[in-house]
Amino acid sequence: MSRTNPASYSPLHIALHWLIAAAILFQLIFGERIKDLGRALKDGGTPDAITVFMGNAHIWVGIAVLALTIVRLLVRARYGVPAPLPSSRPQELAARAVHGLLYIAMVLVPITGLVAWYGGVHTAGEIHELAKPLFIILTALHVLGALYHQIALRDGGLMRMFSAR
Ligand code: HEM
Ligand code: HEM
């Protein structure tokens, strides 16, 4: 962890934030398709082209989330992030907790998916299926926090992830 606090998130950190968020959204919307592929392969049938494409897309987009998150954590450790915006101590702790849990999910969700698919570990698949509710709850809290800063506290909190100064 860097000891310096830059004035803003770096352009690379911001780009990675939105790229990863878009990739996760894709995974949540189309996640069911890899289950169709798994079922078709298990039954010994020939899956149709769209199922094969979307199943493989789930794997590669998921691996991209893992790889980009590792890059982002390295960028974060190297260049640091801006100091938290002033708010009450409980609010600051809640924001830290949600950010920490999002990072943990961004690493562990793809790993459990890989273990389930390539290792055939059923329990990993069951844990992986928690990805949808987990990301929905964490992202909802996260977005509410950003909007609270932007609209209620009027401190430009939301804009911190849009422009680097
Ligand atoms: C951040 C990345 C990922 C997200 C957000 C994600 C999300 C999801 C979602 C929402 C589902 C459907 C769950 C349901 O219908 O209840 C799913 C299923 C699945 N995903 Fe992922 N996934 C990610 C990465 C991966 C990766 C890298 C793999 C590796 C192959 C993978 C393998 C699977 C498998 C095997 C299933 C079916 C699980 C089962 O039927 O037990 N996922 N994923
Ligand atoms: C799945 C989607 C998302 C994920 C995984 C995610 C993850 C994160 C994480 C981990 C951080 C902490 C950055 C750090 O300190 O290194 C962050 C910051 C931030 N995110 Fe997201 N985010 C997502 C979606 C969104 C959305 C939709 C918005 C806008 C409404 C948003 C707005 C922000 C803002 C404004 C910050 C900066 C907070 C601050 O430092 O004051 N994020 N995000």
User: Is 149 contained in some domain?
Assistant: yes
Per-position b or e across 12-44, b if 16+ CB within 10 A of its CB: ebbebeeebbebbebbeeebebbebbbebeeee
User: Is 44 contained in some domain?
Assistant: yes
Residues with C-beta less than 6 Å from any ligand 1 atom: 24, 27-28, 31-32, 34-35, 38, 58-59, 62-63, 65, 109-110, 113-114, 116-117, 125, 128-129, 131-132, 135
Report the pLDDT averaged over residues 111-140.
97
> What six digits make up the tokens of 63?
């691996």
Report the pLDDT averaged over residues 153-164.
92
- The C-alpha R_g of the chain, in whole angstroms, comes to 18
pLDDT, the chain, mean: 95
Per the structure, the count of domains in the chain is 1
User: Is 4 contained in some domain?
Assistant: no
User: Is 1 contained in some domain?
Assistant: no
The widest CA-to-CA distance across the chain, in whole angstroms, is 58
User: Is 5 contained in some domain?
Assistant: no
Check whether 4 has a pLDDT greater than 90. Answer: no
User: Is 81 contained in some domain?
Assistant: yes
Tell me which residue has its CA closest to atom 28 in ligand 1.
113
**What percentage of the chain has pLDDT greater than the value 70?**
97
User: Is 76 contained in some domain?
Assistant: yes
Report the pLDDT averaged over residues 2-13.
85
Residue 65's domain comprises 11-161
Run of H or E residues at 128: helix 122-128
**What percentage of the chain has pLDDT greater than the value 90?**
90
Residues with C-beta less than 6 Å from any ligand 2 atom: 17, 20-21, 24, 76, 81, 85, 99, 102-103, 106, 135, 139, 142-143, 146, 157-158, 160-161
Given this model, what pLDDT does residue 2 score? 45
User: Is 79 contained in some domain?
Assistant: yes
pLDDT band with cut points at 50, 70 and 90 for residue 45 = confident
Given this model, what pLDDT does residue 1 score? 47
Report the pLDDT averaged over residues 1-11.
80
